């Protein structure tokens, strides 16, 4: 069932949808693909450190069962993700396996049930061959911890792949996974997607079911990452739909189309600064180039300004995080402070301070102003495009504990305003898709956010598919950086 050898480097760069087609035609077998991915991981993982746990032996056995389905044995047929290697974010619970979230305070903790994301991957025939690293408690835009060490960007090992789904982005870019599960409470899907040149989808609140108390946090949600827009669509169609463990999960299930009209005639808003963000010149240039490509393809692109202020954004997130997610970290710091990473302790202290100064009602008032500003600005447009980050990246291992992000010895951005993702967690009913926008002079990719109206998921994929065709992206040069 193959025309390839397991060592064929081209296999690890296959898209998931492409691999499924090759499986169906019996030109590649799931076993051969899994072997190629495992070999790739064994070669590059010591330098990237994307994985917290390797499940290679079990994955190869599951790949044999997937191969049987493609061969029609025992009357079984392939499922939607049959035989695809999927890297799962460690915070996505797998029954009987660790659930430490990168914290020594949770060392030895074991999950008692699967997260809905995991159940949906397994039910669709996806094979979880590895679990991916995050910062402690998934609370930052980088990926390193006292427990797991530093995860690095495959494009340039001096830089972080972002966070918190940094292990997911790094594994996809490096060719050690074809799909990866992610989550997003402040940019944890989109920032690593931007820095690794991958595609990440922040689904609108409730679209994909979650597990645990934070499913009630309307800033967050679980979602898909992959190397192509088609692959994210295929993965998202597996993840979406209601689950009784998450009463906020939406019904009926939305199934995304797999083909879309081109963007001719669409109305697209361009916003480079999102109010008061300071944007690096390369980021601005890449964002404008993407917008121009859409205009050249027949879209009506109009630049606009948003009325967002730093004060409103800061008030919204300070009140929200200090009351919910931050309160959980404060609890951990109260009992295990000596075990936590320095950035976690700093976050806990900041949240404790914020909780005494900004009420949850203050935060809701600011959220309302931010949401209304976006709704008014987007009225009459089909989607909005903007940068994912304000700067091209930051160094691996940097705790970002100062007022400024420092890269190559130069101050390049205010730390708090280096990512441009949080406004759309405040507006978390809006779907947001990150796609690559270019390659920076620092040797890592940059990203573009495509923002849709609340729950209009197909709109962002229509624009994303168009940009992918207009501005093709390749992972081949990563082989040179890792050799």
Active site residue ranges: 89, 164, 188
Distance between CA atoms of residues 240 and 120, nearest Å: 9
- The neighbouring-strand residues paired with 387 are 448
Residue 148 in 3-state DSSP? coil
Q: How far apart are the first and last CA of the chain?
A: 30
Q: Which two tokens stand for residue 220?
A: 């967050």
At which residue do the structure tokens 């192509």 appear? 228
Residue of 446, 452, 437 whose CA lies nearest to 291:
437
Beta strands per DSSP E along 104-240: 127-132, 144-145, 149-150, 179-184, 199-202, 221-226
CA distances from 386 to 162, 424, 446 (A): 18, 11, 12
Token look-up 């159940």 returns: 119
In total, the chain counts a number of residues equal to 483
Tokens 């035609």, residue located: 25
Token pair of 384 as six digits: 């909005």
Strands (DSSP E) contained in 185-296 are 199-202, 221-226, 267-270
Other CB atoms within a 10 A radius of the CB of residue 469 amount to: 13
Task: Compute the radius of gyration of the chain from its Cα atoms.
Answer: 21
Query: Using CA atoms, how far apart are residues 368 and 319, in angstroms rounded to an integer?
Result: 13
> Taking Cα atoms as reference points, which of 159, 186, 181 lies closest to residue 168?
181
**String of b and e for 436-445 (b: at least 16 CB within 10 Å)?**
bbbbbebbbb
Longest dimension (CA), the chain: 64
CB under 8 Å to 378, separation ≥6 — which residues? 269, 384, 451, 453
- Distances 129 to 85, 163, 179 between C-alpha atoms, Å: 6, 21, 11
């Amino acid at each position: 069932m193959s025309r390839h050898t397991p060592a064929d480097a081209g296999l690890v760069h296959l898209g998931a949808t492409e691999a499924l087609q090759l499986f169906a035609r019996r030109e590649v077998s799931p076993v051969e693909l899994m072997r190629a991915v495992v070999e790739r991981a064994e070669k590059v993982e010591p330098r990237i450190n994307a994985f917290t746990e390797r499940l290679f032996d079990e994955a190869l056995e599951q790949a044999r069962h997937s191969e049987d389905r493609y061969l029609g044995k025992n009357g079984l047929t392939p499922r939607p993700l049959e035989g695809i290697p999927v890297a799962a974010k460690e915070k996505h619970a797998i029954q009987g396996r660790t659930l430490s979230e990168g914290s020594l305070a949770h060392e030895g903790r074991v999950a008692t049930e699967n997260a809905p994301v995991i159940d949906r991957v397994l039910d669709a025939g996806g094979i979880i061959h590895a679990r991916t690293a995050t910062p402690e408690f998934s609370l930052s835009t980088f990926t390193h911890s006292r427990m797991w060490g530093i995860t690095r960007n495959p494009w340039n090992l001096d830089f972080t792949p972002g966070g918190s789904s940094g292990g997911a982005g790094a594994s996809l870019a490096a060719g050690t996974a074809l799909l990866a599960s992610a989550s997003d409470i402040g940019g944890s899907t989109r920032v690593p997607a931007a820095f690794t040149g991958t595609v990440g989808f922040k689904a609108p609140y409730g679209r994909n079911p979650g597990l645990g108390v934070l499913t009630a946090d309307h800033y967050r949600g679980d979602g898909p990452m992959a190397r192509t827009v088609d692959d994210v669509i295929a993965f998202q169609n597996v993840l979406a739909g209601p689950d009784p463990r998450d009463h906020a999960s939406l019904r009926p299930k939305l199934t995304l189309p797999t083909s879309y009209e081109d963007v001719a005639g669409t109305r697209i808003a361009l916003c480079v600064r999102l109010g008061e963000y300071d944007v690096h010149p390369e980021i601005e240039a890449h964002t404008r180039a993407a917008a121009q490509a859409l205009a050249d393809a027949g879209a009506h692109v109009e630049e606009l300004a948003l009325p967002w202020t730093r004060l409103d954004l800061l008030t919204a997130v300070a009140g929200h995080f200090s009351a919910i997610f931050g309160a959980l970290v404060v609890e951990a710091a109260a009992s295990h402070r000596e075990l936590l990473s320095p950035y976690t302790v700093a976050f806990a202290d900041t949240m404790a301070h914020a909780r005494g100064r900004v009420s949850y009602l203050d935060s809701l008032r600011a959220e309302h102003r931010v949401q209304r500003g976006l709704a008014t600005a987007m009225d009459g447009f089909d989607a909005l495009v903007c940068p994912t980050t304000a700067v091209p990246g930051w160094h691996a291992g940097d705790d970002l504990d100062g007022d400024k992000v420092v890269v190559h010895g130069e101050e390049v951005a205010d730390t708090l305003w280096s990512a441009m993702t949080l406004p759309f967690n405040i507006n978390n009913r809006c779907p947001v898709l990150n796609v690559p926008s270019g390659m920076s002079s620092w040797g890592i990719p940059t990203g573009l956010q495509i923002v849709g109206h609340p729950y209009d998921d197909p709109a962002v994929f229509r624009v994303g598919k168009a940009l992918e065709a207009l501005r093709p992206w390749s992972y081949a040069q990563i082989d040179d950086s890792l050799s």
